[in-house]
């Protein structure tokens, strides 16, 4: 006979099995491990997360090595009523996670293969492959794949919410490049999901993936690349604070061609800790001459430093390495909007510098990104659950600190930035890219018009709502 009950121990949840108290790890070792592909796949800790703010705090971790490990783990957890959460890149910062010592993290990092077909027009990416691993494999294969722009991000973690990246001006969002997915759903079964097989699930996974299952791999379009295709011109243009309005206006005035991307950062100078205004252009196949011409409006403002250079595909994300630093508290507040308005950005700057100067908060930042959207908008917006095709710009504030006594001030900074963006967004209602959401948004804000259909598909595929940790659709 098995009687289960939770004991209020501070760090360990014990369950009563056959009259004996055992930890969740021991229980998994006894009951789940024999069903897994290897003997030592259960551990106490998951790989470090990007942010420790409101982060999942599991009692045990299953380090899956095969897709059938995912299936048996989901089946087991559902049958035993054990909460669980897939972890891929571990970059999700939303406060919607609520996994504690009673729960299990399914660490997907072992599912990291990236396999190209013979003509390099398709890549099958493992559910645990991060951006760095995906790009390195693509680079070696001589192909380009749509990924996020930071190496530490889970490739599919980003794509399942939409998937913004340097190449989307040419190839559209990550969701638009997905051809099929292998998915473990709430019944513990593996499904091959595509436009012709499980079309509803295919639609829903591309925008709300973490609510419907665990994707063990996805086959996406890839683009065979010449030596020239593998080059990009990128770097930082640094400005003084008093040039902010001119920089914002220059970004507003840019016409982004498909090969162009522009980022704006408020970040501390790494050596002095001084808050800086940094515009970061990217031009696919660009060089110093074509780059300066494409971004002439930003050069006209007169940057005080310029680190732009030509980089090969496998180094495009190098500049964002410091953004990938693990740990610390990094809650994010984000909004989508239509126009760059200098007065809005002056207000955000003031909120940023006020927080950034607090002890231990120097690494805090504000990030804006804008892509050419013509290609993405040529694709029917009802073809996937991703609802953000209409949004021109996305930005977020990231208070970055270690001392929870700063929580209230961090929230004040984040809310001020988000309120400023929302109040001047030019959108009929608030919209936030789900993968940038803070976690307190109404579901309509992150799922938009897709929400009604998503609710119906969620009821069909996850009637007990076991995938409930990420902007949970109810
Ligand atoms: C430094 C940084 C840079 C970023 N850059 C970009 C960018 O360039 N483009 C962009 O679009 N977004 C970007 N993001 C946002 C990013 O898309 C989200 O943070 C995303 O949730 C991260 O996925 P992950 O796998 O790294 O995180 P995780 O925390 O592991 O996953 C986030 C959620 O997705 C679920 N999930 C992850 N993988 C799977 C899977 N295979 N199957 C089912 N569910 C899964 C998890 O269970 C969790 O609920 C960035 C975030 C950070 C912190």
Q: Are 55 and 105 in contact (CB under 8 A)?
A: no
* Segment 75-103, tens digit of pLDDT: 999 999 999 999 999 999 999 999 999 99
Single out the residue of 152, 344, 353, 376 nearest to residue 261, CA to CA: 376
Domain identity same for 42 and 155: no
Structure tokens at 187: 């019944």
Domain identity same for 313 and 435: yes
Q: Distance, CA 122 to ligand 1 centroid (Å)?
A: 22
Q: Distance, CA 88 to ligand 1 centroid (Å)?
A: 7
Q: Are 394 and 368 in contact (CB under 8 A)?
A: yes
Following DSSP, what letter does each residue of 426-449 receive, concatenated? -SSS----GGG--S-S-HHHHHGG
pLDDT score of 427 more than 50: yes
pLDDT score of 6 more than 50: no
Q: Distance, CA 148 to ligand 1 centroid (Å)?
A: 9
Q: From the CA of 97, give the closest atom in ligand 1.
A: 49
> DSSP alpha helices (H): ranges in 254-315?
288-294, 296-301
* Segment 311-365, tens digit of pLDDT: 999 999 998 899 999 999 999 999 999 999 999 999 999 999 999 999 999 999 9
pLDDT at residue number 3: 33
Domain identity same for 153 and 219: yes
Instruction: Count other Cβ atoms within 10 Å, centred on residue 3.
Output: 9
Percent of the chain with pLDDT over 70: 96
Domain identity same for 249 and 320: yes
Ligand 1: residue whose CA is nearest its atom 4 = 150
How sure is the predictor about 273, in pLDDT bands with cuts at 50, 70 and 90? Answer: confident
Ligand 1: residue whose CA is nearest its atom 49 = 470
**CB proximity list for 26: less than 8 A, separation 6 or greater:** none
How sure is the predictor about 372, in pLDDT bands with cuts at 50, 70 and 90? Answer: very high
Q: Distance, CA 153 to ligand 1 centroid (Å)?
A: 6
In a domain, 204, yes or no: yes
Single out the residue of 147, 290, 155 nearest to residue 232, CA to CA: 290
Residues 134, 210, 326, 412: is their CA dihedral positive or negative?
positive
Domain identity same for 205 and 252: no
Q: Distance, CA 229 to ligand 1 centroid (Å)?
A: 26
Structure tokens at 128: 């645990």
> DSSP alpha helices (H): ranges in 311-406?
342-356, 374-377
Domain identity same for 183 and 276: no
Distance between CA atoms of residues 70 and 183, nearest Å:
9
| Domain end among 225, 251, 279 | 225
| Domain end among 91, 110, 129 | 110
Strand ranges (DSSP E) for 285-433?
305-306, 309-312, 333-337, 365-371, 393-398
In a domain, 194, yes or no: yes
Domain identity same for 122 and 245: no
Chain center to CA of 72 = 26
In a domain, 400, yes or no: yes
Strand ranges (DSSP E) for 145-293?
178-184, 190-194, 214-221, 223-224, 231-234, 237-239, 260-268, 275-284
Domain identity same for 59 and 194: no
Q: From the CA of 469, give the closest atom in ligand 1.
A: 49
Instruction: Count other Cβ atoms within 10 Å, centred on residue 424.
Output: 18
CATH number at residue 431: 3.40.462.20
Structure tokens at 167: 């190449």
Q: From the CA of 210, give the closest atom in ligand 1.
A: 44
Coil vs helix vs strand at 336: strand
In a domain, 461, yes or no: no
In a domain, 236, yes or no: yes
Domain residues for 166? 114-225
- Ligand 1 contacts (CB < 6 A) are 50, 85-93, 108, 127, 148-150, 153-154, 156-158, 160-165, 209-210, 214-215, 323-324, 435, 469-470
Q: Which of 146, 157, 333 to mutate to test the pocket of ligand 1 (most atoms within 8 A of CB)?
A: 157
In a domain, 460, yes or no: no
Q: CA end-to-end span of the chain, whole Å?
A: 35
Q: From the CA of 93, give the closest atom in ligand 1.
A: 19
Distance between CA atoms of residues 341 and 338, nearest Å:
9
* Segment 168-224, tens digit of pLDDT: 999 999 999 999 999 999 999 999 999 999 999 999 999 999 999 999 999 999 999
CATH number at residue 204: 3.30.465.10
Q: Which of 147, 153, 202, 467 to mutate to test the pocket of ligand 1 (most atoms within 8 A of CB)?
A: 153
Task: Count structural domains, the chain.
Answer: 3
Ligand 1: residue whose CA is nearest its atom 16 = 158
Predicted TM-score of the model (pTM): 0.96
């Amino acid at each position: 006979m098995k009687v289960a009950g939770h004991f209020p121990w501070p760090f360990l949840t014990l369950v009563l099995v056959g009259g004996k108290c055992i930890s969740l790890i021991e229980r998994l070792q006894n009951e789940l491990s024999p069903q897994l592909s290897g003997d030592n796949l259960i551990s106490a800790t998951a790989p470090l997360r990007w942010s420790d703010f409101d982060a999942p705090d599991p009692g045990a971790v299953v380090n899956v090595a095969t897709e059938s490990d995912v299936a048996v783990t989901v089946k087991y957890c559902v049958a035993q009523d054990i909460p669980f959460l897939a972890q891929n890149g571990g970059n999700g910062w939303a406060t919607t996670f609520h996994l504690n010592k009673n729960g299990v993290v399914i660490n997907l990092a072992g599912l990291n293969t990236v396999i190209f077909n013979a003509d390099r027009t398709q890549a099958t990416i493992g559910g645990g492959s991060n951006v760095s691993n995906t790009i390195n494999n693509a680079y070696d294969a001589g192909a380009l794949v749509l990924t996020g722009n930071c190496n530490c991000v889970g490739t599919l973690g980003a794509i399942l919410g939409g998937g913004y990246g340097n190449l989307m001006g040419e190839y559209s969002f990550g969701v638009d490049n997905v051809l099929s997915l292998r998915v473990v759903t709430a019944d513990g079964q593996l499904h091959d999901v595509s436009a012709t097989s499980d079309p509803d699930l295919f639609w829903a996974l591309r925008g709300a993936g973490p609510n419907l299952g665990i994707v063990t791999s996805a086959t996406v379009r890839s683009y065979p690349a010449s030596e020239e295709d593998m080059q990009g011109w990128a770097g930082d243009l640094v400005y003084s604070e008093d040039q902010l309005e001119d920089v914002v206006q220059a970004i507003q005035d840019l016409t982004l061609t498909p090969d162009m991307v522009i980022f704006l950062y408020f970040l501390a100078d790494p050596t002095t800790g001084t808050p800086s205004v940094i515009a970061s252009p990217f031009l696919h196949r660009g060089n110093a001459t074509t780059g300066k011409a494409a971004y002439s409006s930003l050069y006209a403002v007169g940057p005080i430093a310029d680190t732009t250079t030509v980089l090969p595909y496998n180094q495009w994300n190098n500049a964002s390495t410091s953004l990938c630093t693990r740990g610390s508290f990094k809650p994010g507040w984000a909004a989508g909007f239509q126009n760059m308005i200098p007065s809005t950005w002056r207000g955000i700057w003031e909120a940023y510098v006020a927080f950034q100067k607090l002890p231990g908060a120097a690494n805090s930042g504000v990030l804006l990104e804008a892509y050419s959207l013509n290609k993405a908008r040529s694709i029917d917006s009802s073809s996937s659950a991703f609802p953000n095709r209409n949004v021109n710009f996305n930005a977020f504030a990231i208070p970055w600190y270690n001392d929870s006594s700063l929580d209230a001030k961090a929230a004040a900074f984040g809310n001020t930035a988000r309120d400023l963006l929302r109040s001047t967004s030019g959108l009929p209602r608030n919209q936030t890219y789900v993968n940038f959401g803070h976690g307190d948004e109404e579901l309509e804000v992150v799922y938009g018009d897709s929400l009604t259909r998503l609710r119906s598909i969620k009821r069909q595929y996850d009637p007990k709502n076991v995938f409930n940790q990420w902007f949970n659709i109810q």
